Structures are given as C-alpha cells and as structure tokens.
Amino acid sequence: MERPLTQHINFNRSSLNLKDYRSVGGYQAVEKALTTMAPQDITKMVQEADLKGRGGAGFSTGTKWSFVPMNTVGQTKYLIANADEMEPGTFKDRMLLEGNPHQLIEGMIVAAYAIQANISYVFLRWAYKKAAWLIKHAIDEAYAAGYLGKNILGSGYDLEMHLHTGIGRYMCGEETALLNALEGKRATPRTKPPFPQVSGLFGKPTIVNNVETLCNIPHIVNHGADWFKDLSPGSDAGTKIYGISGRVNKPGLWELPMGTTIRELLEEHAGGMKKGVSFRAVLPGGASTDFLVEEHLDVKMDYKSISAAGSRLGTGTMIVLDDQTCPVGFIHNLEHFFAQESCGWCTPCREGLPWTEKILLSIENGEGRMEDLELLEMHTKHLGPGNTFCALAPGAMEPLQSGLKYFRADFEKHIKEKKCPWR
C-alpha cells in the first residue's frame, strides 16, 4: 500500500531537513514543473487527478486554481497554505508540518507556479510552536538552495515565501477571514463574490489551500494523474490522512486509500474500543460534522458515501463517542467551543450559538424543560446553511441536529430526572 504523504515521516528521528528530503526525491517536482511544464499543464494535471481539497469542503483543487485569471502579466498573486487547524479533534496537518515540512514547501512552490503567484504564505496555528520553528528553518534552507527567491533554478520564475503565525481564532480557518487576518484586520469572513481567486489578499488573485492538499501536489507532478487515481479503489482519488480520537486503544493518524471504511479505521487501525466501554457514535470529520452510529460502521470514508449517510467527510479525523460518556455533555462541550469562537459578524451566529450553549448547559445541569428541545431544533434550522454569513454556525449545528436525532432519549432523561445520569 502506497503512502506518499507519510512514507518518509518517522517521529523516532528528527524531521526531514533539506538533505534528507532531497535524498528521497524531494524537489524533483519543482525541477520538473519549472523546467519542463507550462503553468496551465500543472493545473490540468491536478484537475485530471481529481484531487479534492483536504481541508473539509472537498472542492476540486485544479478547478479552484483554474478560476485565477492568467492573462494579467506582472500582476501580483498570492498562494496561501492554510495551516490554522483549530477544528476540535483535528490534528492531521500537524503531523505533516512537523514530520516533513519540505514536502509542504515543495507543494506550495509548484502550486504557486501553476497560478503564477509570486508571493506565498504559510498561515500557521499559533499553538504549533514546534511546527513554526521547523517551517521557518525549512524555508531558510529552500532559499539557500535556490528553490525560493529570484529566478528559481534558472527558470525566470520568482517566488517569495513567508511564515505567518495566526492570532488563535477558529474563524481564521475560513479562507476569507484568514485573508483579513493576514491584512492585519479583524478575522471576519468576507462577502462572496468576489471570490479570493479573483480578489483575495490585498485585492489580488489568491488561492488558499489546506496543508494536506498541497502536500499531494509534488507526488501528482512526479507520478501523474492516473497514478494518483489508482491509489484509491473508490470514487475519490488518492490517499487520505484519517485520524481517530476518543476512548479507543490506539488513537492516532493513518494514511490510507480514500474510501477506507469507518469499521476498518476503528477496529483495525485504532485497535477497537477500550476495555469497559462500547462504541456509540462517531463524528466522522471533526467537530462540525453529523454523528454516525453503529449502522454506519461499514460506510466508506469518502465524500459521496459519508454524505449519503447523512454527514460530511470534513477533515477525515473522527471523534468517537462511547457509551460511558454523556452525549448531552459531549455536545455541550462542542457548542461551548463554537459559541466562543464565533466572530460575531452576523446576528444568527453571534446570538444563536451562546443561546444554544446555555440551553444545553441547563439540560446537562438538570434544569432543562421539554420545551428546550423544541428551541434547540429551532436553532438547528435558523443557524443552518443559507442563514448565516459563513459556515461556522451551520457546522456547529451538525453535531447538535444529529445528536437530537440519535440521542433524544438521553436529552429527555436529563430533563425528567433533573440531573445528568452520567454524573
């Protein structure tokens, strides 16, 4: 089984430096792209490979690049790696950043060349201190080796790269809020259109891609679109870094073919549930996805299959709920996070999320009323897609709406017994 993204990552040794990375084929994709390929050929190859964004939305990466205007000679363009990764339960990009930072840098160089960007940024989560040091060191090595800066490899192509440490808000993971933060403004989302591909950072064409997405680019350029599609037997191409947290025997991360089932991830790779607890449900793609339950264990972890089951693949990092953990408290903890992280830009999110969090807290503390369940259901509709400025509140409603569906008896028991049964 091929694992292109993680095959050279080994945390029993130091992160790969430039010499290590080049010894395993590093920067061959940069050399190939800049000396033998036109920018549009790279975009076409990524489109044909059917690489979908690994940050959660699952949009076609090559198609996204194709929206950047290419007939503007000398215009400044930007390429940004979104390494904010503040979704609860998600820690996949951290492994890539700390294990092999040059892989990201190479992917960014090729992606920037494809859209003819001349300035790039790694927008990094503030708490990733080790990753920040490693990325800064890797960028310095890349400059010294001639992979960044002026006239890269004699190709006539110039690219500057900078590390930017974020301010520590979940909202910065939303690409237009990230752009505002980079500009030194409050991290609030922007109205779309115009989309960042046309008017992004400082009003210039900009592409924002997730770390895992960009790390795939060198391998696609080196091996081709068909190779990438053949990595997965399912409908979605490539591999995916899946993760599991919760009361399992071996929580962690694994690079596997797209479409690996929830059951295989849970039972084979995570070693099953810990002794004394049983599986009850899972958030398949991080905190902002709908619960799936035991009947869904054989669902494939790809975009289409997870959607058909009633949830989203999201980041592919699963949070497992066991039978000894209160689902009401579990959901309240998530809603507390989302309420704190609302930027306050739109009324439904600013007012609705704290209201939702307070209702859940009262139910968890034995002070709830049956009418509260109707209020919670109302919020799942009014804070749903199309009613807020960005996707934060709709994402926050996913664990709540599915929790009310699958664990309604637990909510009612809290209210009837005026206490949390798990305390």
CATH number of domain containing 54: 3.40.50.11540
Task: Tell whether 47 is covered by a domain.
Answer: yes
Report pLDDT for 12. Answer: 84
Of 291, 322, 353, the one marking the end of a domain is 322
Q: Is residue 57 included in any domain, yes or no?
A: yes
CB 250 within 8 A of CB 271: yes
What pLDDT is stored for residue 7 in this prediction?
Answer: 95
Could you give the CA distance from residue 166 to residue 90 in angstroms, rounded to a whole number?
Answer: 17
Q: Which of 322, 348, 367 is the last residue of a domain?
A: 322
What is the pLDDT averaged over residues 276-291?
A: 97
Within a domain: 6: no
Q: Which of 230, 255, 288 is the last residue of a domain?
A: 230
**CATH code for the domain of 293:** 3.10.20.600
**Would you mind telling me the total number of residues written for the chain in this entry?**
423
Residues 37 and 184 placed together within one structural domain of the fold: yes
Same domain assignment for residues 333 and 313: no
Domain with residue 382: its CATH number is 1.20.1440.230
pLDDT in tens, 341-390: 999 999 999 999 999 999 999 999 999 999 999 999 999 999 999 999 99
What predicted TM-score, i.e. pTM, was given to this entire model? 0.95
Q: Looking at the domain assignment, is residue 158 inside a domain?
A: yes
In a domain, 3, yes or no: no
Residues 333 and 302 in one domain: no
Do residues 25 and 142 share a domain?
A: yes
Residue 145's closest CA among 260, 257, 47, 19?
19
Same domain for 128 and 164?
yes
Q: Which residues pair with 255 in a beta bridge?
A: 241
Over 90: is that where the pLDDT of 423 sits? no
In a domain, 9, yes or no: no
Confidence band of 235 (pLDDT split at 50, 70, 90): confident
SS3 13: coil
Residue 11 within any structural domain of the chain: no
Per DSSP, what are the bridge partners of residue 252? 244
Q: At what angle do helices 101-115 and 211-223 cross, to 10 degrees?
A: 80
What range does the domain containing 248 cover? 239-322
Question: Residue 58: which pLDDT band, with cuts at 50, 70 and 90?
Answer: confident
423 within some domain: no
Number of separate domains in the chain: 3
